[in-house]
């Protein structure tokens, strides 16, 4: 007997059971700021300042490449373990970035959202986050997400704990919990770029990267240009994404 209702018809399900959105989501681990600065005899903080310039270049270029959503790993929960002065420096650079660019975002249609814990952020930074999110809430051209005091494991664990009595939940609803928002969940990451030569995820978007194409480059983040983004996206388009299936040609 065949089951014809769509709930049980596996062939009608999307890969992984997610609703596949047409959005193009690129996630970036911008690594190498400190080494970039040290190689120039500069304090590590100047590397973070130069890193913000690279973020600006990529945000400006993204819409032309069809990117709808960009998620940066701006400050991980593990980064609290760095020397206090560096942590302060990074958070100060981020606060200035938000304050300086919010007006430009409203003009160019960039919507800002912040992922991660907010309770441990300095009050001024938290205020800058809230005000930028509010000011850009109607922008629709590009969604720029900054992960601040973010740990993917913690996000997954927190969501699982909140749900421990639920017997079943859809992947979309779970993704919404992970984001900690009431808005539609972020689509899965299509392309993950990590600069600075390391090849690991470092607790970034573990759930969302399940089928991400990974792109690693030796280039330090402050040296990353719009042309480097073009090259990463071109490489992405050359990849064949199969989501566990066979290539179309072999499917018969
Ligand atoms: C990444 O650059 C930026 C942040 C973590 C905020 P790093 O500061 O990790 O630079 P390296 O890896 O020490 O060169
Ligand atoms: Mg690093």
Ligand found nearest the CA of 30: 1
The answer, yes or no, to whether residue 28 has pLDDT greater than 60, is yes
Backbone angles phi, psi at 76, to 5 degrees: -90, 160
Could you tell me the residue ranges of all domains in the chain? 24-238
pTM of the model: 0.88
Give the separation between CA 12 and CA 232, rounded to whole angstroms: 32
Atom of ligand 1 nearest to the CA of 76: 5
Q: In this predicted structure, what is the pLDDT of residue 160? A: 85
Strands 110-115 and 69-76: unpaired
Encode burial over 29-66: b for 16+ CB neighbours within 10 A, e otherwise.
bbbbbbbbbeeeeeebbbbbbbbbebbebbbebbeebe
Q: In this predicted structure, what is the pLDDT of residue 183? A: 66
Ligand 1 pocket, mutate which of 47, 78, 222 (most atoms under 8 A from CB): 47
Instruction: Tell me, yes or no, if 68 is annotated catalytic.
Output: no
Angle at 40 between CA 50 and CA 30, to 5 degrees: 35
51-55, 66-70, 189-193, 244-248: lowest mean pLDDT where?
244-248
Catalytic residue among 31, 68, 101, 149: 31
The answer, yes or no, to whether residue 17 has pLDDT greater than 70, is no
Which stretch, 172-176, 185-189, 241-245, has highest mean pLDDT? Answer: 241-245
Q: In this predicted structure, what is the pLDDT of residue 180? A: 73
Model confidence at 194, pLDDT cuts 50, 70, 90, reads: very high
Does domain 24-238 fall into CATH 3.40.1180.10?
Answer: yes
């Amino acid at each position: 007997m065949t089951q014809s209702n769509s709930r049980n018809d596996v062939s009608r399900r999307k890969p992984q059971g997610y609703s596949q959105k047409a959005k193009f989501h690129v996630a970036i681990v911008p690594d190498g700021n400190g080494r970039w600065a040290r190689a120039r005899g500069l304090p590590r903080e100047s590397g973070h300042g130069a890193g913000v310039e690279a973020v600006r270049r990529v945000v400006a270029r993204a819409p032309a490449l069809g990117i709808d959503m960009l998620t940066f790993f701006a400050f991980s929960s593990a980064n609290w373990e760095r020397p206090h002065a560096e942590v302060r420096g990074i958070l100060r650079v981020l606060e200035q970035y938000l304050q300086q660019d919010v007006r430009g975002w409203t003009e160019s249609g960039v919507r800002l959202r912040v992922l991660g814990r907010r309770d441990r952020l300095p009050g001024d930074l938290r205020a800058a986050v809230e005000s930028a999110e509010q000011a850009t809430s109607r922008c629709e051209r590009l969604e720029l997400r900054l992960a601040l005091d973010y740990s993917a494991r913690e996000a997954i664990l927190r969501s699982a704990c909140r749900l421990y009595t639920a017997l079943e939940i859809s992947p979309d609803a779970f993704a919404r919990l992970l984001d900690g928002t009431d808005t539609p969940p972020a689509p899965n990451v299509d392309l993950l770029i990590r600069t600075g030569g390391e090849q690991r995820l470092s607790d970034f978007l573990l759930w969302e990267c399940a089928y991400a194409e990974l792109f690693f480059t030796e280039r330090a983040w402050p040296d990353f240009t719009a042309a480097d983004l073009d090259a990463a996206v071109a490489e992405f388009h050359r990849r064949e994404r199969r989501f566990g299936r066979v290539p179309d040609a072999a499917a018969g």
